[in-house]
Structure 1
Amino acid sequence: MDWLSAAKSFILTAEYGSFTQAAEELNISSSAVSKRIDWLEKQMGQSLLIRTTRHVQLSEAGHLLLPKAQALIAQFDHILEHSQEVNKTPSGTLKIAATLAVGNSLLMPSIQAFLAQYPQIKIQLNVLAPGTLPDLHHDLVITRHYNEFDSVAHKGTCLLEYQMKLFASPCYLQRHSAIKSVDDLAGHKMLLSSYYQKKGHIMLSDNSIFTFKDYNFVSDHLDAMLEAAIQGMGLMLISAGYIHKQLQEGTLVPVLPHVKSANKQLWAYYPNSAFIPIKTRLFIDHLKQQLATQHTL
């Protein structure tokens, strides 16, 4: 028995909540997984899992060990991958997490071009809930920059800067009172993401605070938000980079073009390791190039 195999078994069992699913992932028997974790618990001198007939849960000690075990395995995998990279075609699975808006509008065009260039790499794109902090389950987490996020477990790099502006459908503007200043917004409904609905405000470029006092629709699904805006349900605060098509078609138009949010940043976060996997480095470089040449948020 060794620490690495025991740690991998523990991590997968904790993630799946099942010895059987962990065993399937590792291609070993459930009893072998159980023996590995029993060995790890003896080494730790503590019970790491709470076992029931239906489910497996982490004990208090297990909750404390899990992130450390994940970091250990990630470090080992990165070192192993780094040692195998010399004269090797980039391959393997790159796990990426991003919000629906970022994934659909920004990542998919870049992913298509990246996979065409590196056909032996596979990409798994998972949905990230807005406001969720980066985790160690993914090779890359693409999200807004968090000033309050300070983790020794992650590194990060800025992909681009952007500002958010107000947009509405022509039919909405025809049916409602004219909007000539920020003060006029008080009589209008907003369409908000769950993040801004909870936050309740946004800082503007002039350092003033715009408060979301009235809203009638909250969603983290970009398609639903766009449809709501096009149908004339309210005003939408979004980066123009997400709505190129709607602006070209005229289904959405700017409202108070001079009003914009303070500068924001889109970042790529990845596990803090001595060796960054080549597929991670290649995708970050590719994405930066694509965003710089094709997108203006």
Structure 2
Amino acid sequence: MDWLSAAKSFTLIAQYGSFTQAAEKLNISSSAISKRIDWLEKQMGLSLLIRTTRQVKLSEAGHLLLPKAQALIAQFDHILEHSQEVNKTPSGTLKIAATLAVGNSILMPSIQTFLSQYPDITIQLNVLAPGALPDLHHDLVITRHYDEFDSVAHKGTCLLDYQMKLFAAPSYLRRHSVINNVNDLAGHKMLLSNYYHKKGHIVLSDDSIFTFDHCNFVSDHLDAMLEAAEQGMGLMFISASYIHKQLHEGTLVPVLPQVKSANKQLWAYYPNSAFIPIKTRLFIDHLKQQLATQQT
């Protein structure tokens, strides 16, 4: 006899209220499951079940033991699942949520290389509304770090530290007054996401507050925002990680390079459980490696 078999028998009897049904579920005889419970009660020195001719109920000691027995079984199942996954090719669907900006600029290059290594995995990338908190419908939620988000249902890990800076099209800078310092920005219009439009300001690296007094375009669509910036519609606060192509081609250039936002972080949030699926762990590790390579 062993603790795990006895615990499984005990939890099934608690679930069905019947030795017979629990025995059928385990594909053993009623006498065999009865022996397991007798052994468990002797080991505990307690009576765990109240038996009548019509039903079986948990005793007070049984009610106290039940969550511990369930936790023991869950822990064993996680260990077994993990050991089985180590010996097989990762497969299945990995559901990821991210904002359009993160998905297009940060994730897509890593997704392409990840799938080339693990062709049996399917990635479902869904759009996360800017400012939306992580949910439990996805295996991974990639978003900026939220100081106010403290959910016991989630774990998280930092993927990237970054700062936002000002950029504009050369054509915009030629048509407008010279920008030598932060005070000169007062007469210029900004291109903003809905989040920063509602917030109305951004905290800079020196802890000062830069207020968005004027804007002429608001959108959460990264491609539209970049098109507006390249057309010279206004100034844009954004991480350089999102605009490698534009900087390389010269369609956007830095404005006041010394002006930076306070430090920010990109995080991966995932459900808090004792066992993290191998495909989730592999993608997080791959993404961290790719982002670290880009930063060097």
What range is the shorter-chain TM-score in? Answer: 0.7 to 0.9
1:290 counterpart letter in structure 2: Q
Cα distance in 2 for partners of 1:295, 1:239 equals 12
Question: Does residue 111 of structure 1 match 2:132?
Answer: no
Instruction: Using the TM superposition, give the Cα deviation of residue 82 of structure 1 relative to its aligned residue in structure 2, in angstroms.
Output: 3.2
Cα distance in 2 for partners of 1:84, 1:147 equals 37
Report what 2:151 is aligned to: 151
Report what 2:44 is aligned to: none
Report what 2:212 is aligned to: 212
Q: Where do 5+ consecutive residues of structure 2 fail to align?
A: 1-11, 13-73
Instruction: Using the TM superposition, give the Cα deviation of residue 83 of structure 1 relative to its aligned residue in structure 2, in angstroms.
Output: 5.7
**Distance change in 2, residues 1:122/1:259 (3 Å):** same
1:95 counterpart letter in structure 2: K
Report what 1:131 is aligned to: 131
Report what 1:247 is aligned to: 247
Instruction: Using the TM superposition, give the Cα deviation of residue 81 of structure 1 relative to its aligned residue in structure 2, in angstroms.
Output: 4.7
Q: What is the root-mean-square deviation of aligned Cα atoms in Å?
A: 2.0
Cα distance in 2 for partners of 1:250, 1:286 equals 30
> Identity over aligned residues, as a percent?
85
Cα distance in 2 for partners of 1:161, 1:178 equals 31
Cα distance in 2 for partners of 1:295, 1:185 equals 29
Report what 1:184 is aligned to: 184
Cα distance in 1 for partners of 2:95, 2:177 equals 47
Instruction: Using the TM superposition, give the Cα deviation of residue 84 of structure 1 relative to its aligned residue in structure 2, in angstroms.
Output: 3.5
Cα distance in 2 for partners of 1:186, 1:122 equals 48
Question: Does residue 163 of structure 1 match 2:175?
Answer: no
Instruction: Using the TM superposition, give the Cα deviation of residue 110 of structure 1 relative to its aligned residue in structure 2, in angstroms.
Output: 0.4
Instruction: Using the TM superposition, give the Cα deviation of residue 265 of structure 1 relative to its aligned residue in structure 2, in angstroms.
Output: 0.2
Cα distance in 2 for partners of 1:295, 1:269 equals 21
Report what 1:194 is aligned to: 194
**Distance change in 2, residues 1:193/1:133 (3 Å):** same
Report what 2:290 is aligned to: 290
Aligned-partner SS, 2:268: strand
Question: Does residue 281 of structure 1 match 2:281?
Answer: yes
Cα distance in 2 for partners of 1:233, 1:98 equals 27
Report what 1:257 is aligned to: 257
Aligned-partner SS, 1:85: helix
Instruction: Using the TM superposition, give the Cα deviation of residue 295 of structure 1 relative to its aligned residue in structure 2, in angstroms.
Output: 4.2
2:168 counterpart letter in structure 1: A
Cα distance in 2 for partners of 1:94, 1:244 equals 27
**1:25-72 CA-partner distances (Å, limit 9, x unpaired):** xxxxxxxxxxxxxxxxxxxxxxxxxxxxxxxxxxxxxxxxxxxxxxxx
Structure 1 residue runs of 4 or more that deviate by more than 2 Å after TM superposition:
78-84
Cα distance in 1 for partners of 2:209, 2:95 equals 37
Aligned-partner SS, 1:266: strand
Cα distance in 2 for partners of 1:265, 1:238 equals 13
Instruction: Using the TM superposition, give the Cα deviation of residue 201 of structure 1 relative to its aligned residue in structure 2, in angstroms.
Output: 0.7
Report what 2:54 is aligned to: none
Question: Does residue 120 of structure 1 match 2:129?
Answer: no
Cα distance in 1 for partners of 2:171, 2:87 equals 59
1:260 counterpart letter in structure 2: K
Number of equivalent positions: 224
Aligned-partner SS, 1:149: coil
Aligned-partner SS, 2:179: coil
**1:170-201 CA-partner distances (Å, limit 9, x unpaired):** 11011111111101111000000111111111
Question: Does residue 233 of structure 1 match 2:241?
Answer: no
Q: Where do 5+ consecutive residues of structure 1 fail to align?
A: 3-74
**1:60-107 CA-partner distances (Å, limit 9, x unpaired):** xxxxxxxxxxxxxxx99x948536314111111000000111101111
2:267 counterpart letter in structure 1: W
